[in-house]
Structure 1
Amino acid sequence: MRLLRSTDLALRVLMRLAVSGESSPTTRQVAEDMEVPYTHAAKIVAGLQRMGLVSARRGRGGGLALSEKGRTASVGAVVRAFEGDGDIVDCEGATPCPLHSGCRLRAALRRAQEAFYASLDPVTVADMVAEPTGPLLLEISRTP
């Protein structure tokens, strides 16, 4: 299974903020650290804010911070939220599959997708930044 770029970036933003400590990087700093366009990072941060995982303060001394909910968030839940509920294959697109009424592949792929998400459910953001990852993230970030 392949994750959307937005899902990957959301997880990386959460990880980056989990190791920020007292510093509060801005969205622009996070985008630069991760070498992604600012507009893309801003959309991801807004989505994480709506989920209650990230808080943002404007103005002097502002920046992003991971909420407690964000620290304990299930990676599976974050991936589900960003990936959506769509099927892995599009059986009913512009040219519908002729096997649609009797196909077992779609159900098998749906079960595999759910198993993938379920394997990520017990993993938290805090788990993802445990040693050795956390210190490495701090090394590559611009914010002290």
Structure 2
Amino acid sequence: RNGELVWTGYYGEQSTGVPASRETLFNVASISKVITTEAVLRLVGEGRLSLDEPMAAHWVDPDLADDPRHELLTPRMVLTHTTGFPNWRFLLEDRKLKFLHDPGTTYGYSGEGFEYLARYVEEKLDRDFGDVVNDVVI
């Protein structure tokens, strides 16, 4: 109020039986997709990336190296959740990234896709993704 904080509260648990507190570190989770999208779209606007360029020229996840469909992946597919990836590889029995659908054919919410995109940006621009975000968004 009038520029002063008047109340804070913490909900949930930081681990089983340990309540959340001011010091609790939370995973950012899906909110980071908005920031990643903003950074990528600004890079596209600057002409440093294209939404439709194949990412394979700069990054191929080792789990996908033997699957030729990795050549089809583009930033646009990531941003529209059409990579064909699962949400997270760790949810799969073998914990390896794989295509559940052919890229560009089916919508499927995927955190893995955004991790893939961040890695691609790092490799293409030869910079840490966090530094890129700080430069173009913040």
Shorter-chain TM range is under 0.3
**Which gives a bigger RCO, structure 1 or 2 (Cα 8 Å, sep 6+)?**
1
**TM-score (structure 2 length as normaliser):** 0.24
Q: Which has a greater percent of helix?
A: 1
**TM-score (structure 1 length as normaliser):** 0.24
